[in-house]
Structure 1
Amino acid sequence: MGWDWQFYCNDTATQEAVAGCFGPGGKEQTYLQWMLSAWGWTLEVSIAALLLALVIGSLIGIIRTAPNRWLAGFGEAWTELFRNIPLLVQVFLWYYVLPEFVPALKNPAVKTALVICALGFFTSARIGEQVKAGILTLPRGQRYAGQALGMTLPQTYRYVLLPMAYRIVIPPLTSESMNIVKNSAVAFAVSIPELAQFAQQASEETSHFEEIFIPVTLLYFISAFAINRVAKFIEARVRIPGTVGAK
């Protein structure tokens, strides 16, 4: 196959080889440094979006099971809105359309946060559905028992329902956590310097398509697999006693 991996040690500006594959820093960098930097961006965007999705998704899941029909209706509307619009369209809406209505969002430093919001809100609708399913799986008697002990409804959710529901929905949450890493690739469409954007731009500059897309694919796999292993560890530690696989 005539693959040439040495280009990773070339300076991206001058195309000259750099000893040790690491340039002096700043704007001068090698393709290896560029790829590692892009991987860092992918992880940062994915983790921030995941944290946002977990917080909002949990709230949506809770209010969709609350006795207040207005709150439940809001949660239902949120889920249907963000679940039924393609992620790429949502990214474009947040990145290009929203700043036209809120000029302060045109600041370049804010643009990455907008992509994180798009990815986080999209995933929150899916997580909200899973948290809701986890809560509804529990016997009604657990809610009544908490209230019978004098707990308020928020306290019943916090101390009784949610700890059990989260244990039940860890497997689907693991899938969503892995998906958010893969879905972060849509950020290349708005020039966020993550892995997909690196792969597209670097391959055009160097014509080393195989040498670029194979490592990028492996980095996506490593990121998603690491999340899977961490989630599996957590699942084993918090599994409800008496269930299959519990220790």
Structure 2
Amino acid sequence: MTDDPRMQSFDGRAKADAAPRAHHLTLSINNPTVRAILWQVGLGLLVVLAAWYLAGNTMANLARLSIASGFGFMDREAGVQIGESLIATGPRDSYGGIFVVGLLNTLKVSGVGIVLATLLGIMLGIARLSSNWLVARFAAFYVETIRNIPLLLQLFIWYALLTEGLPGPRQALEPLPGIFLSNRGLKLPAPADDPIWAWVAVLFALGVLVTLALSAWNRKRQLATGQRLPMTPIGLGLTLLPPLLAILLAGGGALDVPVLQGFNFKGGMTLSPEFAALLFGLTLYTAAFIGEIVRSGILAVPKGQTEAATALGLSRSTAMRLVILPQALRVIIPPTTSQFLNLTKNSSLAVAIGYPDFVAVANTAINQTGQAVEGVLSIMIVYLVISLALSGFMNWYNRRVALVER
């Protein structure tokens, strides 16, 4: 202790300066932002430690079982014949090749199911609001029944009906010439190896592109002048007439017609019972939920809009198509996106009825190679990518049709 008054004054100022700094430090630690950062850093460290532990444990178990890790098995011959495929396949294909086949099968059933479920859901949503008592009650009964029965059970029911309720190939039903329906599936004529079909595909694709461009121009023209071209007949003409004219000018296109040989049909293309059961189940189940979404979206539009459309002399169907539904889309699209994602992910139930989707193919590869980690990781990545792509597209469409107040 010194008796110098100047040193005592300096020590007093130092203590006085230290007190605010300590108080400031306490305030910083108690700051919600600082606490949030500390919690996030701590949680991140826990996630990293957990991932490190699981990865190390997995690698140790694989080494103990003498199982090689990595995706090198993708180049090995699979020795598996996929019963249904959009591309040519055989038992000499690699595991990577059959993974592609399974992915295409998943995309096929999901894409067709989304389109059909959307159309059926829109009809159900409108039917529930119909002034016809019988139509409204039937739609309500369908929605409340289908969406409360587990989807897996519905798939089993459809598969049993298609395989046990239909006759065998020798007694196959023939509703139209060249079309056969049996417990082996629906056999249809297919385009044969003829160059005209390539031209038909090109002309159809060009017709679709021209129709889309003309529709965009038609919307701008309607906003500017109030006049609108009838795009439905114009679009059908642009997409269907050029291919038909090409077929007529070429003298017709060769078809591969299915023919009964032995105990099954040869030639043509097949809609298998597995694909049909999965498609029916996914479509009918998802359409029930979409129907409720459409109904709620329509009810969210103020009744004054319907009254105004009626006062202008628009029919009920025209008012629904041009006035009510466009405004209801902002309510309908977000939850419908979730239903599209659910349909895509529910397609993994195909393994229960033998349809070779991506999950079924991956399970086959896992059983043959023992690469369970890589197989499950492939399934997760594929469904994640499909879901993100579908969600991104629907978000873009939602922004595009959103009503903007000016």
TM (norm. structure 1) is 0.89
Match of 2:115 in 1: 51
Match of 1:176 in 2: 339
Tell me the matched-pair count.
234
Q: Separation in 1 of the partners of 2:329 and 2:183?
A: 38
Q: Separation in 1 of the partners of 2:76 and 2:89?
A: 13
Q: Tell whether the 8 Å contact from 2:162 to 2:277 is kept in structure 1 after alignment.
A: no
CA 1:238 to 1:80, structure 2 compared with 1: closer, same or farther past 3 Å? same
Q: Separation in 1 of the partners of 2:157 and 2:102?
A: 23
Query: What's the CA shift for 1:208?
Result: 0.7
Match of 2:297 in 1: 134
Query: What's the CA shift for 1:99?
Result: 4.1
CA 1:77 to 1:203, structure 2 compared with 1: closer, same or farther past 3 Å? same
SS in 2 for 1:3: coil
Q: Separation in 1 of the partners of 2:156 and 2:112?
A: 19
Query: What's the CA shift for 1:114?
Result: 2.6
SS in 2 for 1:59: helix
Query: What's the CA shift for 1:105?
Result: 4.7
Q: Deviations over 1:165-223 (max 9, x none)?
A: 12321110111111111000001111111111112221111111001110111001000
Match of 1:115 in 2: 278
* Residue 205 of structure 1 pairs with residue 368 of structure 2: yes
Q: Deviations over 1:75-129 (max 9, x none)?
A: 1011012101100011111111344334335123341123111101000000000
Match of 2:128 in 1: 64
Answer with 52-61 or 195-204: which moved more.
Answer: 195-204
Query: What's the CA shift for 1:11?
Result: 0.4
Q: Separation in 2 of the partners of 1:184 and 1:84?
A: 18
Greater percentage in helix? 1
Match of 1:228 in 2: 391
Within 5 Å, give how 1:141-152 maps onto structure 2.
141-152=304-315
* Residue 7 of structure 1 pairs with residue 73 of structure 2: yes
Amino acid at match of 1:206: T
Q: Separation in 1 of the partners of 2:72 and 2:402?
A: 48
* Residue 217 of structure 1 pairs with residue 380 of structure 2: yes
Answer with 198-207 or 58-67: which moved more.
Answer: 198-207
TM (norm. structure 2) is 0.55
CA 1:26 to 1:101, structure 2 compared with 1: closer, same or farther past 3 Å? closer
Q: Separation in 1 of the partners of 2:329 and 2:128?
A: 15
Larger radius of gyration between Structure 1 and Structure 2:
2
Q: Tell whether the 8 Å contact from 1:57 to 1:126 is kept in structure 2 after alignment.
A: yes
CA 1:3 to 1:44, structure 2 compared with 1: closer, same or farther past 3 Å? same
Answer with 83-92 or 103-112: which moved more.
Answer: 103-112
Match of 1:41 in 2: 105
Q: Percent identity of the aligned residues? A: 32
CA 1:25 to 1:194, structure 2 compared with 1: closer, same or farther past 3 Å? closer
SS in 1 for 2:281: helix
Q: Tell whether the 8 Å contact from 1:52 to 1:117 is kept in structure 2 after alignment.
A: no
Match of 2:27 in 1: none
SS in 2 for 1:12: coil
Give the RMSD, CA atoms, in angstroms: 1.7
* Residue 30 of structure 1 pairs with residue 107 of structure 2: no
Q: Tell whether the 8 Å contact from 2:329 to 2:401 is kept in structure 1 after alignment.
A: no
Q: Deviations over 1:137-189 (max 9, x none)?
A: 01111111112211211111111111111232111011111111100000111
Q: Separation in 1 of the partners of 2:75 and 2:350?
A: 26
Amino acid at match of 2:330: R
SS in 1 for 2:90: coil
Q: Separation in 1 of the partners of 2:318 and 2:123?
A: 14
Q: Separation in 2 of the partners of 1:164 and 1:204?
A: 51
Q: Tell whether the 8 Å contact from 1:83 to 1:122 is kept in structure 2 after alignment.
A: yes
SS in 2 for 1:66: coil
Q: Deviations over 1:53-93 (max 9, x none)?
A: 00000000001112222111011011012101100011111
